[in-house]
Chains A and B, each alone.
Chain A
Amino acid sequence: MGKLNLPKLSRGNKVRTGVLVLALMLPFLPFVTDYILHIVIIVYLYMLLALGLNIVPGFNGLLDLGYVGFYGIGAYTSGLLTVHFGLSYWLIIPLAFINGAIWGILLGAPTLRLTGDYFAIVTFGFSELVVLFLTNEIWLTRGPLGLPGIEPVSLDLSLFGGPKWEFVGELPYYYLAIVMVAVTVFVMHRIQDSRLGRAWFAIRDDEVAAVSCGISLLTYKVIAFAISAAFGAVGGSFFARWVTFLSPDMFKFWESFLILCMIVLGGMGNIWGVMIGAVVLVSLSEVLRELLPLLGMPVEVRFLAFGLIMVLMMRYRPAGILPIPAVAAQMKAGRVKRKRVRVAVGMKE
């Protein structure tokens, strides 16, 4: 499942290629059923989402609690454009991307001037407003009834004299998801090593130092937020055309929390770590979904485990399973420095 490349091993491109080949061949392995494929597509979807969210807390050190709002915006953009205008999915991807980015800028520009705490709570309020809007504006979204009958993806090659190929079953979506994740990983790597990425890391590590190097905090934070929102919206657009049904309930705060949890678990700022986080948490979520009813508990209880994971990770391994040295140092930086002060002051732990 997925690309489980550990940084230690990535020196040998063999491993990377091996995992990719395994991922590509997975549908043809004997034990793989449609159910398993379905779950793996969910894993890929969350990888895409987690990679998008990762930009904000991972690369910029800001807490974003409203990511699911952009996911919802992307999903409904995709769903409504398909139902009303019958647009092809290949056109919808850029439209969803742009729509997500626009909302990211609209929300980010006024709020990113503020401290991180305020930003977290504003993003939270925004995602709740998105859900309220989707629930109440029945003329547009059909509200709680949901938006059914979204056409599946199709690949129309008639322009080039080819056939029109409808996506049926899980298999084509599986490959579509792989391509989308691969493109996202590629883009993230390029951004990470670019001027933009370096500016973000500078902001994350020390805002004052970054400003004095001539980095405009607001501009770079807004860019980060917009790109993150745009990837969230693209994830949503895929989700809409894959499950072919949308309802406002799918975009509750829980989703933001789950995606955030993947990042925290995998390692904030680490592309491979975040992907592993998605694999682990989606698998855990599916196992618990099967297991909990047997114990006579509602499925929502699986968030008990996720909440605990977040608290324990922050306590014992704040930089995640695969820590990035800079993040790990930052998460601990206060401890060393303050300890001296505490000793001097005679304050007990």
Chain B
Amino acid sequence: MFLQQLVNGLTIGGIYAMIAVGYTMIYGVIQLINFAHGEIYMLGAFFAFTFISFLGLPFYAAFLLSMACCAVCGMLLDIFAYRPLRQSPRLAALITAIGMSIFLQNLAMVIWGSRPKPFPQGALPAYFEETAVTFSGVSLSWFHLFIFAITLMMMIGLNLIIQKTRWGKAMRAVAQNKTMAALTGINVNRVISYTFALAGSLGGAAGIMVGAYYNSLYPTMGYIAGVKAFAAAVLGGIGSVPGAMLGGVVLGVAEALGAGYLSSLYRDGISYAVMIIVIILIPAGLFGKLIKETKKSM
């Protein structure tokens, strides 16, 4: 029982971590809580659904294609909604982020309808359902392993991109000081757009996996997942990528164990409570530095 809950927690925690990384990267470069990030995650699931059901693509192709689409959505979001406000006060950008979140959610409702949709199960590889490993009464399906593997791969890949590539270096420079970064010849706006694209593709991948895992897609799915992932990012220390990864896993496990042992009714409440407590007691999170209020930042 305990181990089974732990496995469930780790599975969903890895997915939270993937979304949380998106929040934290965007916060790192432009100090904005991108409320619409949860909607990108939702769009990822719906893109995959559309590609499989209407274009008849195989699962893996649809997976990659919708990740690409989410990356484009992230960039468009930045270019049309946030870029014009880069010099405005934070309040304006936050309100825009909320507005975009609500807008995208309802756009999805117009396009795909408000009823929950099942994920096209026929498209999933047949061995996903089969048991891969059994140890001390806990059985792991290939699907669990697939989610673990993808999460791990993406996290490692992301770290490599941030630490080893030119773009990663530019991203870190922009996060530290935009003016100085511009002085060294970095195209700041382009770097920010690429950050949005990276965050969007990770969020989209998370959305597809959750949609397939729970076999249910609905336009408001991004809303709760977004808040939980944000809680994970806060727990890890917003702005810190490894922090967001750890925060996601910790939150996923806490939620699974809390729902299993305390009260399943307050399953969603656990992450809100964790978030509020962390913000009040240790606002810097596990890995972050305390961010000072700067009036006209961005």
Contacts and interface: CB of A to CB of B under 8 A. Distances in A.
Interface stretch (A126-134, A188-196, A274-282): A126-134
A212 B295 CA distance: 15
B110 A304 contact: yes
Interface stretch (B8-16, B40-48, B117-125, B274-282): B274-282
A121 B279 contact: yes
Contact of B106 (A65, A115, A116, A300): A300
A315 B84 contact: yes
A322 B158 CA distance: 46
Contacts of B95: 63, 260, 264, 310, 314
B103 interface: yes
B164 interface: no
A345 B182 contact: yes
B212 interface: no
Interface stretch (B54-62, B251-259, B262-270): B262-270
Interface in B131-156: none
Given A116-B91, A126-B276, A303 B106 contact: yes
Contacts of B104: 307
B183 A124 contact: no
Interface in B88-119: 88-96, 98-107, 109-110, 113-114
Contacts of B87: 334-335, 338-339
Contacts of B296: 333-334, 337-338
Contacts, number: 157
B33 A310 contact: no
Interface string B221-247: 001000100110010000000000000
A178 to B, nearest CB: 30
A315 B85 contact: yes
B81 A311 contact: yes
B163 interface: no
B272 A315 contact: no
Interface residues of A, number: 60
A21 interface: no
A125 interface: yes
A125 B224 CA distance: 11
B96 A260 contact: no
A129 B273 contact: yes
Contact of A260 (B33, B98, B110, B295): B98
A283 interface: no
B275 A121 contact: yes
Contacts of B114: 298, 300
B91 A61 contact: yes
Interface in A155-187: none
B188 interface: yes
Contacts of B92: 314, 318, 331
Contacts of B109: 298, 300-301, 304
A306 interface: yes
Given A334-B87, A345-B179, A115 B275 contact: no
Chain A at the B interface: mostly helix, strand, loop or mixed?
helix
A19 B88 CA distance: 36
B99 A125 contact: no
B227 A118 contact: no
A90 B156 CA distance: 62
B79 to A, nearest CB: 12
A315 B81 CA distance: 8
A304 B108 CA distance: 10
Contacts of A310: 95-96, 98-99, 102
B268 A132 contact: yes
A297 B88 CA distance: 36
Contacts of A62: 91
B3 interface: no
Given A121-B279, A128-B272, A330-B89, A257 B102 contact: yes
B160 interface: no
A115 B113 CA distance: 38
Given A125-B276, A301-B110, A331 B100 contact: no
B272 A129 contact: yes
Nearest to A116: B90
Contact of A307 (B93, B103, B276, B298): B103
B89 A333 contact: yes
Contacts of A206: 295
Contacts of B31: 117
A260 B110 CA distance: 23
Interface in A123-150: 124-126, 128-129, 132, 135-136
B275 A125 contact: yes
A18 interface: no
A57 B91 contact: yes
Given A129-B273, A260-B98, A304-B107, A347 B89 contact: no
Closest 10 CB pairs of A and B: A310-B99, A307-B103, A307-B102, A304-B106, A125-B272, A311-B99, A334-B87, A115-B293, A136-B265, A334-B296
24 contacts: A57-B91, A111-B279, A114-B283, A115-B291, A117-B94, A121-B230, A122-B276, A122-B280, A125-B231, A128-B227, A128-B268, A128-B269, A129-B269, A136-B266, A207-B295, A208-B295, A298-B109, A303-B106, A307-B106, A310-B96, A314-B88, A332-B88, A333-B89, A338-B87
Interface of A: 57, 61-63, 65, 110-111, 114-118, 120-122, 124-126, 128-129, 132, 135-136, 206-208, 253, 257, 260-261, 264, 297-298, 300-301, 303-304, 306-311, 314-315, 318, 330-335, 337-339, 341, 345-348
Given A125-B272, A310-B98, 13 more contacts: A132-B269, A207-B293, A208-B295, A260-B98, A264-B95, A298-B113, A298-B114, A304-B106, A306-B102, A307-B106, A315-B96, A331-B89, A333-B296
